[in-house]
């Protein structure tokens, strides 16, 4: 069975802290994605990666960076967390870049920045 | 901006069919129509996708209008476990996936 795991379900951090959100997939997928989900706004793409050490900005990359040192792991980094980054963060992966490919999502990390 | 328009919410009775509409009037010829759903406290999960022809799988059916400007996700017999937010998404050659706000489906026992 396909599996995408995220390091934490719930996380509470303080303003200004550096935050790491980890995502791991066990399907040998090429592509990985980070979204945030906010009430009334749906899912918005932050960053994605089509290969190791490769990254592309999504729709809302400001305030975030990513790292993909290994194929199975895609990390989202908040260099200096702010309260407006309180959100649900979702990681996803797909096998191939393509219009018919299925996205597999992790369970999400609910981050609260105080 | 999302390229699809869906009702904010819908209600249906348990064990009855549910038809979830989606408008995508600006769809291009190479865009595929995908549906995902998100159960409470979970990440979204794939439901079905199609290009031009109607599609069926074990979860649902997808009916696509002849001009492809709209589609309908059909749950043949809704259960309480189908209560979720349903997202209709267009995925094209640029691979950018834009989720809209979706339709929150309530199932009444």
Q: How confident is the model at residue A96 (pLDDT cuts 50, 70, 90)?
A: confident
B5 DSSP 8-state letter: B
- Contacts with A1 (C-beta within 8 Å, 6 or more apart), sequence order: none
Confirm or reject contact between A97 and chain B (CB < 8 A).
yes
Residue of higher predicted confidence among A60 and B99: A60
Say yes or no: B44 contacts chain A, CB-CB below 8 A: yes
pLDDT over threshold 60, residue B1: no
- Measured between alpha carbons, how far is A51 from B32 in angstroms, rounded to an integer? 23
Q: Provide the percentage of residues in chain B whose pLDDT is more than 70.
A: 95
Q: What angle do CA A85, A4, B80 make, to 5 degrees?
A: 85
SS3 A83: helix
- Residues 76-95 of chain A whose Cβ lies under 8 A from any Cβ of chain B: 90, 92
pLDDT of amino acid A99: 63
pLDDT at B30: 85
Q: How many CA atoms lie within 13 A of A94 on its CB side?
A: 18
pLDDT in tens, B79-99: 999 999 999 998 877 656 777
* High-pLDDT (> 90) share of chain B, %: 75
Give DSSP secondary structure letters for B34-74. EEEEE-TTS--EEEEEESSS-EE-SS-EEEE-TTSSEEEEE
Rounded CA gap, A22 and B52, in Å? 38
Q: Contact A95/A25 with Cβ under 8 angstroms?
A: no
Residue of A10, A31, A42, A98 to mutate, interface with B, max B Cβ within 10 Å: A42
Asked if A103 and B87 come within 8 Å (Cβ–Cβ), the reply is no
Are B49 and A100 inside 8 Å of each other by CB? yes
Q: Region B54-76: what's the mean pLDDT?
A: 95
Report the pLDDT value the prediction gives residue A64, as an integer from 0 to 100: 98
């Amino acid at each position: 069975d396909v599996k995408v795991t995220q390091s934490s379900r719930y996380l509470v951090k303080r303003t200004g802290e550096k935050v790491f959100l980890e995502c791991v997939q066990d399907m040998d997928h090429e592509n990985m994605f980070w979204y945030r989900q906010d009430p009334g706004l749906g899912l918005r793409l932050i960053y994605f990666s089509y290969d190791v050490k490769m990254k592309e900005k999504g729709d809302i990359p400001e305030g975030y960076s990513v790292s993909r040192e290994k194929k199975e792991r895609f990390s989202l980094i908040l260099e200096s967390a702010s309260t407006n980054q309180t959100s649900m963060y979702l990681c996803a992966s797909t096998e191939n870049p393509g219009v018919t490919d299925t996205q597999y999502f992790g369970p999400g990390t609910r981050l609260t920045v105080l | 901006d999302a390229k699809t328009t869906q009702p904010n919410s819908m209600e249906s009775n348990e064990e009855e069919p549910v038809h979830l509409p989606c408008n995508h009037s600006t769809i291009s010829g190479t865009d595929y129509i995908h549906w995902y759903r998100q159960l409470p406290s979970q990440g979204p999960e794939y439901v079905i996708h199609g290009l031009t022809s109607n599609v069926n799988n074990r979860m649902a059916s997808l009916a696509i209008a002849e001009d492809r400007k709209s589609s309908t996700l059909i749950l043949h017999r809704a259960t309480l476990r189908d209560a979720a937010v349903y997202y209709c998404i267009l995925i094209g050659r640029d691979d950018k996936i834009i989720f809209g706000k979706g339709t929150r489906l309530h199932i009444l026992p």
